[in-house]
Structure 1
Amino acid sequence: MPMTVGALRETAKGERRVALTPETARKLVARGLAVIFEHDAGREAGFPDATYVAAGATPADAADVAARADLLLCVQLPPADRLTALRAGTAIVGQLRPNAAHDRLEALGERGVTAFSLELLPRTTRAQAMDVLSSQAAVAGYRAMLIAAEAAPMFFPMLTTAAGTIRPAKVLVIGAGVAGLQAIATARRLGAQIEGYDVRPETREQIESLGARFLDLGVSASGSGGYARELSAEEQAAQQAALGERLRVFDVVVTTAAVPGRPAPKILTAAMLEGMKPGALIVDLAAESGGNCVATVPGQRVNVGGVTVLGPLDLAAGAPLHASEMYARNLLNFAGLLVRDGGLSPDFADDLVAATCVNRVGEKQPQLI
């Protein structure tokens, strides 16, 4: 009997993505695996049940999927009551947020269910095809700039009209990770005058390659693992003084600075907001982890002295079709590390497998840092 890969419908509020697409279902079936999915699992993402059936997958109710799956794929960790039917020896893979779900994951481990949280993947070349943080950040950066363009009180591009010439909006993107670079590229396509800033000087070339100017504030914080190191008090003061002065000219600021598992660094202070021009707009991609701006309220729009601050949540879920396609391919690639000879057989000597496993009983578990 072939090994079975299953996927449940996501039930978190606002979550429209799915961990299994017809494309990845077809590829799993081609590898000799059985694929089962909960009815309407992909409906919100634009994948009706019929497309999965055409790919060789079998629809079922949630309890049946959980009971039959040897490998369960998810976007977010399902509620405990939807996992009660999981058998010992099963594995679950997704963005499991282990710091927030430690007790639930530990309980699954005690039942013999092994969990792999892909936020913990090392940032190596080999892991790129499985990097869910990067794929979903690209969606978030794209959508953040569209939100900014819609919410800004001016056009992004320069327009020449019978009423005169409209200058382009001046846009600053803070943070040149995947989300920031995608935001820069999108602003450029929309015709804005764009600058990018990051405390890691090595990002200058990436920012400039997208047609943006690099905002140099004279502070460097190159760190390890692709993330910036924490600034000293003196460095932070110098950075804030220089940034506060430069912010005065921008119409739109998009902030993207975040480190998984930690509160977002506060970059935009109250004093900086006071110095910004009336009508300026801030879109804070780090709202879910506390925000880069002191005025950010997650999920809300606030006005501080004439400056509008948006704290959008679940940005990737707002483009569920393409976000799901990329995410499902990430999971498909990671599943290749877990399945050998047609069965579930994780190799814990593999650095990617070991780094992402969050609930092996008797083992010290990795934590987001």
Structure 2
Amino acid sequence: MKLAVVREKREAEKRVAATPETIKKLKGLGFDVHVEAGAGQSASIPDDAFKEAGATISADIGSALDGADVIFSVQGIEADDAAKAKKGALQLAVLNPFVEKDRVKAYADAGLMAVAMEFVPRITRAQSMDVLSSQSNLAGYKAVLDAAAEFSRAFPMMMTAAGTVAPAKVMVMGAGVAGLQAIATAKRLGAVVSATDVRPAAKEQVESLGGTFVMVEDEETAAAETSGGYAKEMSDDYKAKQAALIAETLAKQDIAITTALIPGRPAPKLITEEMLKTMKPGSVIVDLAVEMGGNCALSKPGEIVEAHGVKIVGHLNVPSRLATDASALYARNLVHYITPHVKEGALEIDFEDEVVAESLITKDGAVVSERLQEAS
């Protein structure tokens, strides 16, 4: 069995889909691993490290893909590379299929079995495969560091002979994996932290980390979470009530970190321009949803902009800004996904398995994902 690890082509993508640690595990499963030259360079993993772990270094993507039964990638091979892959090859990657419809079609046309790792169901036995959690955890941590880098004051309270420095006030909007890590990191840095989410279940998690929970609680919030643990889109009436509460709270904050995403939809607008105008001069917003339209009205993908005296940070691909650790976690996610489907050195995919059924998006020349079919 040949397994190809390709070099990422997309701008701002520094991660790689394998590490020397996971190469050894893949070799133990019976894979002949081929890594495209330079694949780990941006994640501080030289080709020699892959070689020492037992991988073969391929000069280019064509030779890496040639005859490969399995393809590991972070953001997926590009549409024009799909034709270079073996028909029936299994590709594991984060594919953003709701947006990248043309690429999904190219995978189907090429006969690839493409797995969207972000579609892995949030069930207990799939936790080790959950790329959204592994990457969001790092994004939440990095968001706080990015905020601290742009903030002109300190985070913790400091008692000095010259006087007292007040602690920074941080508000985290969205208490999923990224939000909870942001809360924990901001608390460790000494900030006073509050957080908001539409899911009532988030309250206990926020408070357990030392944050204050801010939320409009009514009948609608009881059904604000999907079976997969994601937030649902709320009614216009609820949004108006929540916006009023957020506006009141936001005016007292120094830093806001927004993390709210709805699968398959543009990110909800949580901070309007009117809210920005009420924030203190020198405040900072870090918008982790900027690639899906942003939670802040004036955030711009890949830029740090200033509006009404507030800095709005819109870094792209935040997990990639911690490429070494992000790659290590992501690579393990892929190994955990593939391992149950290798039997005595042969690839035997169980298409009845819930994880495969939910995450497989193309097979036998067609788009087979029900989620994509419903969205089209």
| Range class of TM-score, shorter chain | over 0.9
User: Is 1:110 equivalent to 2:109 in the alignment?
Assistant: yes
Q: 1:102 to 1:49 in 2, by over 3 A?
A: same
Q: Which residue is 2:370 aligned to?
A: 366
Any residues of structure 2 matched to 1:4-43 within 5 Å, and which?
4-43=2-41
Q: Which residue is 2:311 aligned to?
A: 308
Q: Which residue is 1:222 aligned to?
A: 224
Q: Which residue is 2:279 aligned to?
A: 276
Contact 2:233/2:262 (8 A) holds in 1:
no
Q: 1:344 to 1:103 in 2, by over 3 A?
A: farther
Aligned equivalent of 1:352, options 350, 355, 376: 355
SS of the equivalent of 1:6 reads strand
Q: Which residue is 1:183 aligned to?
A: 182
Alpha-carbon shift at residue 149 of structure 1 (Å): 0.6
Q: Which residue is 1:262 aligned to?
A: 265
Q: Distance in 1 between matches of 2:110 and 2:343?
A: 23
Q: Distance in 2 between matches of 1:364 and 1:59?
A: 33
Contact 1:98/1:367 (8 A) holds in 2:
no
Read off the aligned partner of 2:40 and give its amino acid letter. G
Q: Distance in 1 between matches of 2:214 and 2:3?
A: 47
Q: Which residue is 2:234 aligned to?
A: 231
Read off the aligned partner of 1:236 and give its amino acid letter. K
Contact 1:135/1:326 (8 A) holds in 2:
yes
Any residues of structure 2 matched to 1:317-336 within 5 Å, and which?
317-336=320-339
Q: Which residue is 2:120 aligned to?
A: 121
Q: 1:297 to 1:153 in 2, by over 3 A?
A: same
User: Is 1:162 equivalent to 2:161 in the alignment?
Assistant: yes
SS of the equivalent of 1:279 reads coil
Q: CA RMSD in A?
A: 1.7
Could you tell me the TM-score, scaled by structure 2's length?
Answer: 0.93
Q: Distance in 1 between matches of 2:177 and 2:35?
A: 31
Q: Distance in 1 between matches of 2:132 and 2:44?
A: 22
Greater mean alpha carbon deviation, residues 312-321 or residues 274-283: 274-283
Read off the aligned partner of 1:94 and give its amino acid letter. A
Over residues 108-154 of structure 1, what are the superposed CA-to-partner deviations in whole Å (9 max), with x where a residue is unaligned?
A: 33333211111111121122111111111111111110000110121
Q: Distance in 1 between matches of 2:164 and 2:43?
A: 41
Identity, % of aligned positions: 45
Contact 1:17/1:323 (8 A) holds in 2:
yes
Read off the aligned partner of 1:195 and give its amino acid letter. S
Greater mean alpha carbon deviation, residues 238-247 or residues 97-106: 97-106
Over residues 142-188 of structure 1, what are the superposed CA-to-partner deviations in whole Å (9 max), with x where a residue is unaligned?
A: 11100001101211111122321101101110110000011111111
Over residues 252-290 of structure 1, what are the superposed CA-to-partner deviations in whole Å (9 max), with x where a residue is unaligned?
A: 111110122210001112221122222221111110001
Q: Which residue is 1:292 aligned to?
A: 295
Q: Which residue is 1:57 aligned to?
A: 55
Contact 2:30/2:346 (8 A) holds in 1:
no
Contact 1:5/1:71 (8 A) holds in 2:
yes
Read off the aligned partner of 1:365 and give its amino acid letter. S
SS of the equivalent of 1:109 reads helix
Alpha-carbon shift at residue 362 of structure 1 (Å): 4.7
Contact 1:174/1:253 (8 A) holds in 2:
yes
Greater mean alpha carbon deviation, residues 184-193 or residues 97-106: 97-106
Over residues 264-319 of structure 1, what are the superposed CA-to-partner deviations in whole Å (9 max), with x where a residue is unaligned?
A: 00111222112222222111111000111111111222222212222121101110
Q: Distance in 1 between matches of 2:367 and 2:322?
A: 37
SS of the equivalent of 1:37 reads strand
Q: 1:103 to 1:246 in 2, by over 3 A?
A: closer
Greater mean alpha carbon deviation, residues 170-179 or residues 187-196: 187-196
Q: Which residue is 2:76 aligned to?
A: 77
SS of the equivalent of 2:311 reads strand
SS of the equivalent of 1:27 reads helix
Could you tell me the TM-score, scaled by structure 1's length?
Answer: 0.95
Q: Which runs of 5+ in 2 are unaligned?
A: none
Alpha-carbon shift at residue 354 of structure 1 (Å): 1.4
Contact 1:141/1:182 (8 A) holds in 2:
yes
Read off the aligned partner of 2:191 and give its amino acid letter. A
Contact 2:94/2:116 (8 A) holds in 1:
yes
Q: Which runs of 5+ in 1 are unaligned?
A: none
Q: Which residue is 1:251 aligned to?
A: 254
Greater mean alpha carbon deviation, residues 191-200 or residues 299-308: 299-308
Greater mean alpha carbon deviation, residues 298-307 or residues 279-288: 298-307
Read off the aligned partner of 2:332 and give its amino acid letter. R
Any residues of structure 2 matched to 1:139-218 within 5 Å, and which?
139-218=138-217
Read off the aligned partner of 1:179 and give its amino acid letter. A
Alpha-carbon shift at residue 337 of structure 1 (Å): 3.8
Contact 1:337/1:353 (8 A) holds in 2:
no
Q: Distance in 2 between matches of 1:186 and 1:214?
A: 16
Q: 1:74 to 1:208 in 2, by over 3 A?
A: same
Alpha-carbon shift at residue 367 of structure 1 (Å): 3.0
Q: 1:362 to 1:75 in 2, by over 3 A?
A: closer
Q: Distance in 1 between matches of 2:237 and 2:97?
A: 34
Contact 1:89/1:112 (8 A) holds in 2:
yes
